Amino acid sequence: MAQLLEGARNLGWVLLNSFLRFIFVFINNCVAIPSYCLYCILLQPLRVMDSRTFWLIEGIMFKWMLAMVSQWGWVAGYTVMEWGDDVRPLSEEEAMVIVNHQATGDVCTLMMCLQDKGTGKAYRDKQLIYLKDHLDRYYHSRDRKWIVLFPEGGFLRKRRETSQAFAKKNSLPHLTHVTLPRLGATQVILKTLGPQQENGCLGTEASTVHRSQSGSKPKGLQWVVDVTIAYSKARPMDIQTWIFGYRPPTVTHVHYRVYPIKEVPVETKPLTDWLYQRFVEKEDLLAHFYETGAFPPPKGQKEAVSRAMTLDPVQLCFIQFLAFASGYLWYSVLQYFYCRLF
């Protein structure tokens, strides 16, 4: 009987906590998203006069929006442990980020990881044309740094069976923890945003040095950041978990590996092989993690080093205060004009 009462008490607490979290997230979105949109409208004259400053301000506001999403998981005890290369020095350089895709929570995890890494912003035949047009029009003009891509094209649980069938038919590696990536969007991004192509690859040290000596700033992608997300006990987190917080506190593990853009081919066959190899490596990384609880050490090292990714509670409180203060401000302004007009 005592165990039954204890179970009912725990269930009641989980339900109450989930309800309160949902109310907070709902109100948070109701004030933050409209405020962001209204600030962007208010700043349109600045966009005309000085578009670079406008997009700088917009990028900061967008990053604060991501911080609020990160906070949902952080206060529930959903933290991140980082492994592999240190990508923070690359935060202000242009990079394409390729990530394995397991659930909707992957995006939330990335939002948390990007909090201390600059102001990067996440982005079949007809759709690829639209993508190229979007990149041509907006990427460089808005001074974006990182572009995030999920090359698998869908969640692991939905694509695993068809990916394995395709691999068997075409004598490709059998993958369990990831699926074979699709080439289209990756190739469009590399060809559109990459630096000058030489010998089938994107940029070389010589071309970079030449541009630097000529006094012009090197443009285009400089890095590919390969991100591998691993969940505790291989249980992916979805966005509902981040919102309601019903799962016990857990650590999500994120592994980084950085490739200079000059090492990345752009022609179809070499790029396909290169991209497949990255996901074979992800398979090995995840298999090792699920077996041992840690990612393998880099070549030449005996032990892998992990870093706890932390958020600043003072900064989060400040951003949250700004969101609610902005919501109240815009409500007062709109109410004033409504009363004056009607």
The string of pLDDT tens digits covering residues 187-239 is 888 888 877 655 556 664 444 443 434 344 446 889 999 999 999 888 999 88
Q: By percentage, how much of the chain surpasses pLDDT 90?
A: 43
Mean pLDDT of the chain: 84
pLDDT at 218: 47
The model carries a pTM of: 0.83
**pLDDT tens profile 27-52:** 999 999 999 999 999 999 998 999 88
pLDDT at 59: 86
Handedness of CA 100, 103, 106, 109 (dihedral sign): negative
pLDDT at 25: 92
Q: 172: pLDDT confidence band, cut at 50, 70 and 90?
A: very high
Q: Which residues pair with 149 in a beta bridge?
A: 98
Handedness of CA 83, 201, 96, 177 (dihedral sign): negative
In sequence order, what DSSP letters do the residues of 44-97 get, joined into one string? HHHHHH-HHHHHHHHHHHHHHHHHHHHHHHHTTTEEEEEEES--GGGTTS-EEE
**pLDDT tens profile 86-117:** 888 888 888 889 999 998 888 888 888 887 77
**pLDDT tens profile 237-289:** 988 998 998 888 999 999 999 999 999 999 999 999 999 999 999 999 999 99
pLDDT at 301: 81
Q: What are phi and psi of 179, to 5 degrees?
A: -120, 165
> What is the tally of helices (H) and strands (E) in the chain?
11, 8
Q: 180: pLDDT confidence band, cut at 50, 70 and 90?
A: very high
Q: What are phi and psi of 202, to 5 degrees?
A: -95, 100
pLDDT at 157: 86
Buried b (16+ CB within 10 A) or exposed e, 256-269: bbebebbebbbeee
Assess whether pLDDT exceeds 80 at residue 119. Answer: no
Q: How far apart are CA 8 and CA 158, in angstroms?
A: 35
- Residue 36's alpha-carbon distances to 32, 68, 134, in angstroms, are 6, 13, 22
Structure tokens given for 114? 């990007």
pLDDT at 125: 54
**Which residues, 6+ apart, have CB-to-CB distance to 187 below 8 Å?**
266, 268, 271
Q: 161: pLDDT confidence band, cut at 50, 70 and 90?
A: very high
pLDDT at 206: 42
pLDDT at 183: 87
**Which residues, 6+ apart, have CB-to-CB distance to 113 below 8 Å?**
80, 82, 227, 254, 309
pLDDT at 213: 41
pLDDT at 40: 93
Structure tokens given for 94? 């242009």
pLDDT at 139: 66
